[in-house]
Amino acid sequence: MKVIRVSALQAELPYVGGEYRWGRGEILSIALSTVIVVETDAGLAGYGECCPIGSNYLAAYPEGIVPALARVAPAVVGLDPREVHSVERAMDRALKGHPYVKAAIDAACWDILGKACSLPVYTLLGGKLTDGAPVYRVVTQKPVREVLADIQGFRERGYRQFQIKVGADYQRDIDTILAVADMLEPGENAYADANTGWTVNEAVKVCHAVRDTSMMIKQPCPTYEECLHVRQRSQLPSKLDECVTDIKVAERIVQDQAAEVVCLKLSNLGGLTKARRVRDYFVDHGISVVAEDTWGGEISSAAVAHFAASTPQDLLYNTTDLHNYVDGSTGTPAPRAEGGRLYASDMPGLGVEPNYDALSRVLVAYT
């Protein structure tokens, strides 16, 4: 089996809440997601999706997905997509960095591998170790009363874990964290996500002011070194996200005891192949992981669902149902999300096909 064509389509994904606010001044209303289609000479096709948003993820890739695809896609044509490690190495040789476009191609290859074997991707990743991954819901930056109202609304929809976006004004963030901690019910969990928005000084002040809440602090500062500085001066549990980019960072986190939880974004790591490697390293060292991605529709959610399902339940902190954040669509059917849990499809591959009615014409294609 050989890859004969790699093509890209796009879809606009409006945020269901109007404006998604996070970090220090980041605002999202509509995201542009890219769907990658990998076709083979055996008649099988696989699908992946990448949708990086905000300066945290796009700063290093201002030219976007398509120019990177021009270097990576030709390196994949002619390869056997079932040999995912060969594809991984070919992409890395063709272009350094740019994990987002690589992640979408990688997911498409896993999709083909699953279809060729008549197995769901979670089985190929090691088996279903979690049947129904707990899902968190993001509460964006808003006045405190609106944050509390959003939590109540999500609670009524079955969510029990809440990611509270902070990072724009550390003094206001303190009030938000204290109010959220006070309203949590038994069995619920919330954590404060600064998305790199605080300075070291601000982060230390926040951690000191909310120390009695035991609320986890997520990626307070831009760099790993800054986050470690804050970690060493706080008694609160720590979660790292944007700085978790490869196995070398994972090794540092373990060695420095820098976090209790790490967020593994498929697009930030370069795809399922690399993410599984990093995930298994953390699991071997007893560190809990979050299975997620930067943004996206049903195809992104499907990959995340399989990644979460193949993670040991006791070390899967939570996951996310990305397709429920957007009004647009990239694929069908969506992975099942109900009762605050996300379920991977039992169909061969990722279990999702592109929604061509919602996707634009083919942007580029390589044969």
Report the catalytic residues: 165, 265
Category of 167 on φ-ψ map: left (φ > 0), alpha (ψ -120 to 50) or beta: left
CA atoms of 87 and 363, how far apart (whole Å):
22
Cα–Cα distance for residue pair 289/20, rounded to 1 Å: 24
C-alpha torsion 150→152→155→160, nearest 10: 80
91: Cβ–Cβ under 8 A, 6 or more apart, which residues? 72, 75, 76, 102, 105, 106
CA dihedral sign of residues 245, 226, 221, 96: negative
Token pair 């994990």 is found at: 99
**Burial call 331-359: b when 16+ CB within 10 Å, e when fewer:** beebbebeebbbbbbebbbbbbbbbeebb
Under a CB-based contact definition with an 8 Å cutoff, are residues 274 and 85 in contact?
no
Residue keyed to tokens 């969510």: 159
Element (H, E) at 200: helix 200-209
Q: Find the Cα–Cα–Cα–Cα dihedral 83, 84, 86, 90, rounded to 10°.
A: 140
